[in-house]
Amino acid sequence: EDDPGNWASAPECASLDISARTCVIGGLRSLATYRVRMAETCVDPKLDSPIVESEHGATTRPYPATQPTFLRTGNATDNAIFLKWGAGDPRDCVWSRWEVGIRLLPRPARFRDDGTYERDAESS
């Protein structure tokens, strides 16, 4: 697979029985074009079929990275928030940077502008 121009075996398809009409060849390079060929082989190699080649090349597509996992916030101070996460599966992504955004939410009604908690009048 990594040697352009040379044919490589596709064992995923070789082990199928005679009634099989489809198979998936995995472990290929992303964004690469492949040509496929096949023949029906026999116990007596003199009776093998001629080789047939695919008319067109097939190009694999890139797979994007999966999303980061386990995003958590904590250890907040008066003006900072600590973040922790796990990296997703990069798949075909060549990593460039983390994109992190933050959005201010409305202040809960029970908090004053200085951040202190205002007790409910009924519970005092």
Q: Of all residues in the chain, what percent carry a pLDDT higher than 70? A: 92
pLDDT digits (tens, 9 = 90+) for 60-71: 888 889 999 999
Cα–Cα distance for residue pair 71/33, rounded to 1 Å: 37
pTM for the complete prediction?
Answer: 0.50
Q: What is the pLDDT of residue 29?
A: 85
How is residue 2 annotated by DSSP? -
List pLDDT tens digits, range 13-48: 887 888 888 999 988 888 889 999 999 999 999 999
What is the reported pLDDT for 2? 59
Nearest to 18 by CA among 47, 42, 54: 42
Instruction: Enter the tokens of residue 13.
Output: 């398809």
- Report the C-alpha gap between 33 and 6 in whole angstroms: 13
CB 111 within 8 A of CB 118: yes
Cα(41)–Cα(47) distance, integer angstroms: 7
Q: Which two tokens stand for residue 65?
A: 């990275």
